[in-house]
Structure 1
Amino acid sequence: MRFFHCDSLIPNIGDEPVVASAWERFVQDKPLAADGVRKVVLASWQRCRSDAVDPGTHFAPGTAAEYVRQLQRQNQDLCDAARPALEDLRDILRECGTLIMLGDRSGTILQLNGETRVRSVGEEINLATGGCWNEEVIGTNAIGTAIAMAAPVQIHANEHFCLDVKRWTCAAAPVFDPFDRTLLGVVDVSGVKETLHGHTLGLVMAAARQIECELSRRDAALHERLLTRAIDNFIRYASDYVVLIDGRGRVVRINGDAQAMRDLYGVRFPVQVGSPLPGLDLALPEPNRRSQYPDWLRAEWLHPVTDHDGMLGTMLVIPLGAGGNRRTAVSLPPAAVTMPAGDDAFGNIIGESEALEATKARARRIARLDLPVLLLGETGAGKELFARALHRAGHRAEGPFIAVNCGALTRELLASELFGYAEGAFTGARRGGLPGKFEQADRGTLFLDEIGEMPLDMQPHLLRVLQDGVVVRLGDTRERRVSVRLIAATNRNLDKEVAAGRFREDLYHRLCVVSLQLPALRERPADIGLIIDHLNREMARKYGCEPKQLDPDAREALFGYSWPGNVRELRNVFEVMFALTEGGIIDTSLLPPAIARTADMSASTAMPISFGNLKEMERQAIRDAIANAHGNMSMAARALGISRSTLYVKLAAIRAQPESLPKNENRDRAT
């Protein structure tokens, strides 16, 4: 008895007589043997019977030339993205006597390449541009069956359902939208049955993946432009329900209170990132789009988003203020958006300087936007403090706030911390596995500090989570969907890091949807006194005593210092001085050497501090810290109130100067 590989992806030429006999019995409605026809083929034949496909059909139906041109315009992105992959296929299969085709989601051929002789033979069955090869009209074939299965397939000779197609062999693979995984089209290679080759299916699958990668790249670039153009409107309409839609009608961003929107207008539609909204596909003619608008949609809620190249997408703004009866255009400028004083999440950030107040005002506006935020600023400037305030002032305030320092963990530890791990993923893995920070931050905020320190090979994994909202634990295959607002922070210049190849450009643009530059302490010297007074009260509570007086000379020295470690350095210095003071007065004898030296220099020169002098003070502070720590870099970094990685960055800049560092600065590089 002969056995057949009925589950194989690749047809077997030796099975052809058996398949032919089985087809004859099938169309005569006679029972078939248990084996002999691949399952994928038999399932297709059964669909053909259900759709009443005539097995005697001679050729695929055609499409009017004008309608084909309309389909090509509607699928322009697909056609453009597919061109390089189809050209590669043509070069590989140049001598094979095959046709290379791209079809749309309905199975209509949009593009076709191949030798003139083979094209002439194909035209006999309308295997040509405009031919519709949907399974419902021309039966089992690679194009139509791949669409019906949403999976790659190879169909050979007698496996086709219609008689006049049985002299052909074909392989096809579907192309999916990388953003929402909907079917966009199909790549197909077809030839007369003598051209059957097992590698053809692999080639079309590779071509389909290449097209998806190109579409993903184009989508990322388009969405970046779209978000850049729309970000001001997100701030402007912060009190409304806002949906940003790309040119193909897919949701890119959502912001606002969905329940309030439903209560006001009775709108019931499932809106999530990636889902399409009817009538907003810009590839369709405007009359067609308007006819598809849902009943609840008002034309005045739609705002085009454009740049120099034309329309990029649409912003849907559903007004929520004043019971939804006001006009969508608001009269208040963004700067007028404030929070009640008692509910101000930023009230704990000490300072009243103009620079800090401007930063807090911008932070209040962007807090309500459920968008990624990149905090930029020097070490110790208060990035985590701002991150926590953004969380408390946002829509996810009731959710968790999870913080991770990307610069404090090894690559392996960082991967398991962020993404979690499955049981048995590595030696010592906890029984039952462990959820990562993304899962722990679900429905809340994840703060990634020192994001610029993240290893380059880990960055694609982070990018995937940001794009798809899906986490896969180490050692696992299960996908877990998470909804997290990401706030990242860095003291590095990420533009330079991208240019140097140390940071992925696509990840940078995903993180930097909204940026917030935090001022250094030296840029807001008027706040130093307020911070010192606040620290004095805090230390008094901590040490169980009364607040202490600060000697005028000591206060002047603290005011005159450049504070390269910013507020963190000021806190560390003041706490040491407070703790070491035996009486009730903090005097200059307790000043760290670098600050005391700066005060002496200021007194002797009586010159105003310039930016150049500040840089020299910073360099001197680093030299002193290394000398006092006897070369122990970890101890020096702690004394300065900065991370060890930041200290090394500053050292690299100092080495470029003609003056040398203390000789023992390399002593404890590995500490």
Structure 2
Amino acid sequence: MPFSQSGVLVPRSSDDPVVASAWERFLQHQPLAGEGVRGVVLASWQRCRSEAVDPARHSAPGAEAERVRQIQWQNRDLCGAARPALDGLRDILRECGTLIMLSDPGGTILQLNGETKARSVGEKINLASGGCWNEDVIGTNAIGTAIATGAPVQIHASEHFCLDVKRWTCAAAPVLDPFTRTLLGVVDVSGVKETFHGHTLGLVVAAARQIEGELARRDVALHERLLASAIDHFIRYASDYVVLVDGRGRIVRTSVNAQAAREMHDVRLPLLQIGNQVPGLNLALSDVDRCCQRTEWLRPEWLHPVKDRDATLGTMLVIPLGAQRNRTTISPLPKAATKLAGNDPFSEIIGASEVLAATKARARRIAPLDLPVLLLGETGAGKELFARALHRAGTRVEAPFVAVNCGALTRELLASELFGYNEGAFTGARRGGLPGKFEQADGGTLFLDEIGEMPLDMQPHLLRVLQDGVVVRLGDTRERHVSVRVIAATNRDLQNESAAGRFREDLYHRLCAVILQLPPLRDRPGDIEAIVEHLNGKLARKYGCAPKQLEPAVYQALLSYRWPGNIRELQNAFEVMFALSEGDVIDLSLLPPSIAQARSSLPISTSASMPASFGRLDEMERQAILGAIASAHGNVSMAARTLGISRSTLYVKLATIRAQPGNSGSGI
């Protein structure tokens, strides 16, 4: 019986002869149906073929010693954070005859450790510092395939694409930036094929997670120093657009004047979002490389280094808006703004973050077009809210809005829900039949949620309605013409689903006339406070009581949690806390277990802790203020709540601190 290993993570050494035979067939362009080749390996072989990789290549290309030193310097943060994990792997695998490696995102080996004999054998194929093991140059291998797939992978013997590498077995796991989730490098363990062990993949995955944890700890400490040093800039340049960038060029914080910066200086946003990298501001690169990467709109006079003692921690980008501010104060409101100030169809979508504002702005442009819209976003990201807002802002606002969840019904029920049925169409059919959702939405909008879950055999019927505007009820032959705007939503990648044969390509192209990508809640943490305040008032009306007060630590826990369930999860969590609170305060004891557990695993900030010994009262106040601001990542409103004072009082106290002797130029 033919078998497939497409879902197998760990290879089996016993399958090696079968894989070797399949590789020879693959090179001769013969079909592999029924061959025991894992899906991840076959996909890699196909990429190698498309990149014209030579299967007879003897070794990986290498870099000159000076270039290797330059790459190692550029990745010094990764190398430093990886050292404890790699040392741990070396201790575990000391007697196994394997090599332990760390590569950069391009597959170039930065560090290599292992016993002398294994290193000597590895050097023959340039499995050494400076060797480049990207798939497009040396074919299928754990480092290159982990980079290509973004996932851990183990490659054994004949699964390699190039002939001379088939003597080896290797396992690798990507290391992701804990802040942006971009690829930083790869951890790999390799040895001759006789050293194969299924547990090796688990070891490299654990090592990669350990490195990410160490990077996260370092990032938290560094960002606290950066924010403490930069707080003065945010106050001094409050009327301008300010972007704080860390040493790797990642945006840590921005002010609220992005739209004015876009209009006045043609700033190319939405690149400037929290976590994104600004080209040309990565301090790990040389001055020449940074200048070459810098975009045209980014003027050198806008850049100010942020220093702490002798170290440069990051860059402050200050875009002046003085002239724009003077113009806007005397300009009348545009008609669109006047309309939005009244009954805004998007008012139920709470938040003022830049990424959400950009999404709502695109939605407003889409709304009157009367084209099919495909909403893409994670579960709970607010797809139905956006669908209803698109309807209310469109040309069919007076007509019905009808929603149906394609993933919540069986195939038979979904067919009858969408297309309706005639009397006697099936056992239990209602007398006189029933119109389907298309007929109910005639003239208006039909929202098809979870469209990616629709059974494949039902998709042609949906396609016909979209193409011809004709519905035929179950058990009937009569055609009914409908005029419906369809808004579909999914959390799946329909292009991949289409390529895999699970979703019709023609239906996908019919649905995605316009695509609207909805941001997850973790990408707009600045909106959490506004959402919580909105929910607080809404639940107070629902339960007939006054809004609750939240302890500062509860706010901090909500802000630091990643919210995999997005807005829906936040709504459910907050309502449970609201309903269970006996008094008028929501404290830490009411946090749901998942949020409490995530909070307890966060690194503890030392900057906000109480000094070991009590000193002068004004010094204790100064430390408390700076610690609160650092813990709130520069959010003055949050810091003021933590301290139990108003924001205006906090600004006064900050001005007093800056005016104290010895604080000028200190970054306070």
TM-score category, normalised to shorter length: 0.5 to 0.7
Q: 1:5 to 1:369 in 2, by over 3 A?
A: closer
CA contact (8 A) 1:419 1:436 kept: no
CA contact (8 A) 2:217 2:603 kept: no
Partner of 1:144: 144
Q: How does 1:359-378 map to 2 (within 5 A)?
A: none
Q: 1:163 to 1:369 in 2, by over 3 A?
A: closer
- SS of the counterpart of 2:280? strand
Partner of 2:321: 320
- SS of the counterpart of 1:495? coil
Partner of 1:176: 176
Q: How does 1:328-477 map to 2 (within 5 A)?
A: 400=534, 402=536, 404-406=548-550, 434-437=571-574, 458-459=595-596, 461=598
Q: Which amino acid aligns with 1:67?
A: R
Partner of 2:201: 201
Q: Deviations 1:484-533 (Å, cap 9, x if unpaired)? A: xxxxxxxxx9734999xxxxx9999533744445679xx9xxxxxxxxxx
Q: Which amino acid aligns with 1:316?
A: L
Deviation of 1:321 after TM superposition, in Å, equals: 1.3
Q: Deviations 1:3-26 (Å, cap 9, x if unpaired)? A: 453421111111111100000011
Q: How far apart, CA to CA, are the structure 1 residues paired with 2:24 and 2:260?
A: 62
Q: How far apart, CA to CA, are the structure 1 residues paired with 2:588 and 2:133?
A: 50
Q: How far apart, CA to CA, are the structure 2 residues paired with 1:8 and 1:408?
A: 46
Partner of 2:70: 70
CA contact (8 A) 1:244 1:253 kept: yes
Partner of 1:495: 609
Deviation of 1:324 after TM superposition, in Å, equals: 7.5
Q: How far apart, CA to CA, are the structure 2 residues paired with 1:63 and 1:300?
A: 36
CA contact (8 A) 1:172 1:188 kept: yes
Deviation of 1:35 after TM superposition, in Å, equals: 3.1
Partner of 2:302: 301
Deviation of 1:455 after TM superposition, in Å, equals: 7.3
CA contact (8 A) 2:2 2:35 kept: no
Q: 1:106 to 1:201 in 2, by over 3 A?
A: same
Partner of 1:242: 242
Q: Deviations 1:23-60 (Å, cap 9, x if unpaired)? A: 00111111113231001100000000000000000000
Partner of 1:667: none
Q: How far apart, CA to CA, are the structure 1 residues paired with 2:82 and 2:243?
A: 30
Q: 1:299 to 1:37 in 2, by over 3 A?
A: same
Partner of 1:100: 100
Q: How far apart, CA to CA, are the structure 2 residues paired with 1:201 and 1:99?
A: 14
Q: Which amino acid aligns with 1:168?
A: W
Q: How far apart, CA to CA, are the structure 1 residues paired with 2:133 and 2:166?
A: 14
Q: How far apart, CA to CA, are the structure 2 residues paired with 1:304 and 1:400?
A: 38
Count of aligned residue pairs for this structure pair: 411
Q: 1:512 to 1:27 in 2, by over 3 A?
A: closer
Q: How far apart, CA to CA, are the structure 1 residues paired with 2:118 and 2:609?
A: 52
Partner of 2:86: 86
Q: Does 1:226 align with 2:235?
A: no
Q: Does 1:511 align with 2:632?
A: yes
Q: How far apart, CA to CA, are the structure 2 residues paired with 1:105 and 1:8?
A: 25
CA contact (8 A) 2:532 2:574 kept: no
Q: Percent identity?
A: 60
Q: How far apart, CA to CA, are the structure 2 residues paired with 1:180 and 1:67?
A: 27
Q: 1:453 to 1:57 in 2, by over 3 A?
A: same
- SS of the counterpart of 1:306? strand
Q: How far apart, CA to CA, are the structure 2 residues paired with 1:75 and 1:459?
A: 34
Q: How far apart, CA to CA, are the structure 1 residues paired with 2:228 and 2:62?
A: 43
CA contact (8 A) 2:577 2:590 kept: no
| TM superposition score normalised by structure 1 | 0.55
Partner of 2:514: none
Q: Which amino acid aligns with 1:461?
A: A
Q: How far apart, CA to CA, are the structure 2 residues paired with 1:171 and 1:236?
A: 51
| TM superposition score normalised by structure 2 | 0.55
Deviation of 1:435 after TM superposition, in Å, equals: 3.6
Q: Highest relative contact order (Cα 8 Å, sep 6+), 1 or 2?
A: 2
Q: How far apart, CA to CA, are the structure 2 residues paired with 1:255 and 1:47?
A: 43
Partner of 1:129: 129
CA contact (8 A) 1:171 1:190 kept: yes
Q: How far apart, CA to CA, are the structure 2 residues paired with 1:255 and 1:104?
A: 33
Instruction: Using the TM superposition, name which of 306-315 and 218-227 deviates more.
Output: 306-315
Larger Rg: 1
Deviation of 1:207 after TM superposition, in Å, equals: 0.2
CA contact (8 A) 2:241 2:321 kept: yes
CA contact (8 A) 2:103 2:187 kept: yes
Q: How far apart, CA to CA, are the structure 2 residues paired with 1:262 and 1:85?
A: 44
- Which segments of 5 or more consecutive residues in structure 2 lack a partner in the other structure? 328-351, 355-528, 537-546, 579-583, 614-625, 650-668
Q: 1:10 to 1:453 in 2, by over 3 A?
A: closer
Partner of 2:289: 288
Deviation of 1:258 after TM superposition, in Å, equals: 1.3
CA contact (8 A) 1:244 1:252 kept: yes
Q: Which amino acid aligns with 1:149?
A: T
CA contact (8 A) 1:419 1:438 kept: no
Q: How does 1:537-552 map to 2 (within 5 A)?
A: none
CA contact (8 A) 2:254 2:274 kept: yes
Q: Deviations 1:621-666 (Å, cap 9, x if unpaired)? A: xxxxxxxxxxxxxxxxxxxxxxxxxxxxxxxxxxxxxxxxxxxxxx
CA contact (8 A) 2:228 2:630 kept: no
Q: 1:23 to 1:129 in 2, by over 3 A?
A: same
Q: How far apart, CA to CA, are the structure 1 residues paired with 2:575 and 2:66?
A: 50
Give me the CA root mean square deviation. 4.4
Q: 1:43 to 1:456 in 2, by over 3 A?
A: closer
Q: Which amino acid aligns with 2:94?
A: R
Deviation of 1:322 after TM superposition, in Å, equals: 2.2
Q: How far apart, CA to CA, are the structure 2 residues paired with 1:154 and 1:65?
A: 29
Partner of 2:421: none
Partner of 2:275: 274
Q: 1:440 to 1:302 in 2, by over 3 A?
A: farther
